Amino acid sequence: MPYDPSAFPPFAVTVDLVVLTVRRHALCALAVRRGEPPFQGRWALPGGFVRPDEDLAQAAARELGEETGLCAHDPAAPAQANGAHLEQLATYGDPKRDPRMRVVSVAHLALAPDLPAPRAGGDANSARWAPVEELLQRGGYGRDGEQAAPLAFDHAQIVSDGVERARSKIEYSSLATAFCPTEFTVGELRRVYEAVWGVALDPRNFHRKVTGTPGFLVPTGGTTTRQGGRPAQLFRAGGATLLNPPMLRPEV
């Protein structure tokens, strides 16, 4: 059959960002309150329409910079102090996911060390870091702890998929170091695993595993007392991207 443009409705492509960080020993996601329809006043993930002159990766990196002030870096490289790990997560294309028109969203996952309070921008009138348990258990974020409205669009599913991707990837890759500053202690890395997995880990067993995994951590030669107590040895991310043996997630 010949191509008939009138047979196809308006169509748009967006990017949505699951931006994860660890704050106060809890895994948190960036949430914005929408300032415009549709779903005005509801919490949502940051994101926006892909511009005509940019590809998907450029759109995601732009949105990340606008929402967090961070730049994205090569996912194959260790995390940098002024950058964030950014990777494509999944594509969401339910015909009814956006009431305005047919919109396909290419979601991205961003991981970064403890980030400052976010700033609202674009069509968002406020933004905050929300513990993922709040978002996943209630489908929304209530400042007063009460039941909140579900996240806008299909963003609850996207958050769930992003969190599971992070939980899975830190088992077999060095991605957990993306949540850490350039130099960190084994205790700080352990608290990342505990926050992402939502479990408590044995400190001695964890120390033995991570320091015994080839290429995972490299001693810097320095120490720190920023957590109190005796000086703790500082490490940086090693060159390994895959962990052998993997850090298996405890069964809960």
**226 domain residue, yes or no:** yes
Q: How confident is the model at residue 8 (pLDDT cuts 50, 70, 90)?
A: confident
Taking residues 142-155, report their average pLDDT.
Answer: 71
Question: Among residues 129, 147, 170, which one ends one of the domains?
Answer: 170
**The 3-state secondary structure of 87-137, one letter per residue:** EEEEEECCCCCCCCCEEEEEEEEEECCCCCCCCCCCCEEEEEEEEHHHHHH
Between CA 159 and CA 52, with CA 34 as vertex, the angle to 5 degrees is 80
Q: Which pLDDT score, from 0 to 100, does residue 1 have? A: 61
Does the reported pTM lie above 0.85? Answer: yes
Res 17 pLDDT > 60: yes
Cβ proximity of 187 and 203 under 8 Å? yes
Q: Which two tokens stand for residue 236?
A: 């940086």
**123 domain residue, yes or no:** yes
**Is the same domain home to 154 and 199?**
no
Widest Cα–Cα separation across the chain = 75
Res 139 pLDDT > 90: no
Q: Tell me the CATH number at 217.
A: 1.10.10.10
Backbone phi and psi for residue 83, each to the nearest 5 degrees, phi listed first: -135, 175
Q: Which pLDDT score, from 0 to 100, does residue 123 have? A: 55
Backbone phi and psi for residue 210, each to the nearest 5 degrees, phi listed first: -75, -35
Q: Which two tokens stand for residue 17?
A: 């960002």
**164 domain residue, yes or no:** yes
A 10 A CB-CB count for 177 gives 25
A 10 A CB-CB count for 151 gives 24
Q: Which pLDDT score, from 0 to 100, does residue 203 have? A: 96
Burial of residue 22 (number of CB atoms within 10 Å: 0-12, 13-18, 19+): buried
Q: Which pLDDT score, from 0 to 100, does residue 122 have? A: 56
**248 domain residue, yes or no:** no
**245 domain residue, yes or no:** no
Question: Among residues 170, 191, 221, which one ends one of the domains?
Answer: 170
Question: Among residues 135, 150, 170, which one ends one of the domains?
Answer: 170
- Dist. CA 84–CA 222, nearest whole Å: 24
Q: Which pLDDT score, from 0 to 100, does residue 76 have? A: 44
**Is the same domain home to 90 and 120?**
yes
- Dist. CA 119–CA 141, nearest whole Å: 17
- Dist. CA 127–CA 44, nearest whole Å: 9
A 10 A CB-CB count for 149 gives 14
Q: Which DSSP string do the residues of 63-76 spell out, in sequence order?
A: HHHHHHS-EEE-TT
**243 domain residue, yes or no:** no
Res 159 pLDDT > 50: yes
**Is the same domain home to 136 and 15?**
yes
In the chain, how many domains are there?
A: 2
Q: Which two tokens stand for residue 121?
A: 């921008």
**247 domain residue, yes or no:** no
What range does the domain containing 221 cover? 173-237
- Dist. CA 58–CA 53, nearest whole Å: 9
**Is the same domain home to 65 and 177?**
no
Per-residue pLDDT of 25-81, as tens digits, reads 899 999 988 888 999 989 999 999 999 999 999 999 888 888 777 776 554 443 343
**Is the same domain home to 52 and 122?**
yes
**Is the same domain home to 118 and 198?**
no
Q: Tell me the CATH number at 56.
A: 3.90.79.10
Backbone phi and psi for residue 212, each to the nearest 5 degrees, phi listed first: -95, 0
Taking residues 175-193, report their average pLDDT.
Answer: 95
Res 105 pLDDT > 70: yes
Q: Which of 14-18, 57-61, 115-119, 141-145 has the lowest mean pLDDT?
A: 141-145
